[in-house]
Amino acid sequence: MQNPKCAKCSGEMQEGFVPDQSGAYQGVPIWIAGAPQKGFLGAKIEGKETYAIRTFRCAKCGFLESYAIGSA
C-alpha cells in the first residue's frame, strides 16, 4: 500500500504506529474480526482473524488515519 493522501487537506501522510500499552501485549495494536468474547485474561482472540493496524499521520495538519491491512 502506498502512503495515502490526507482526507482532510490532501497533505502527505507519513506511516507510523500507536503502540499498544494495555500491559498484556506490548507491541503494535491489532484489529480482531467479530464481536468481543471474554477470555481468561481479557478478550479471546484464538481462532479469530487478526490484522495489524497501520496508522498514518498527515505532515501538514496532523490528522491520523488507521488501516487494518494484512494479517497480524
Give the pLDDT score at 26: 62
Cα–Cα distance measured from residue 42 to residue 4, given in angstroms and rounded to the nearest whole number: 34
Q: Where are the domains of the chain?
A: 1-17+45-72
- pLDDT tens over the chain, length 72 residues: 678 899 999 999 999 888 776 655 567 788 888 888 887 877 787 888 888 888 999 999 999 999 998 776
Residue 57 vs residues 64, 66, 70, 72: alpha-carbon distances, Å: 5, 9, 19, 21
DSSP code, position 59: T
**pLDDT at residue 60, rounded to an integer:** 97
pLDDT for the residue 10: 96
Please list, in sequence order, all residues whose beta carbon lies within 8 angstroms of the beta carbon of residue 58, skipping any fewer than 6 positions away: 6, 8, 9, 11, 12, 13, 14, 64, 65
DSSP code for 6:
P
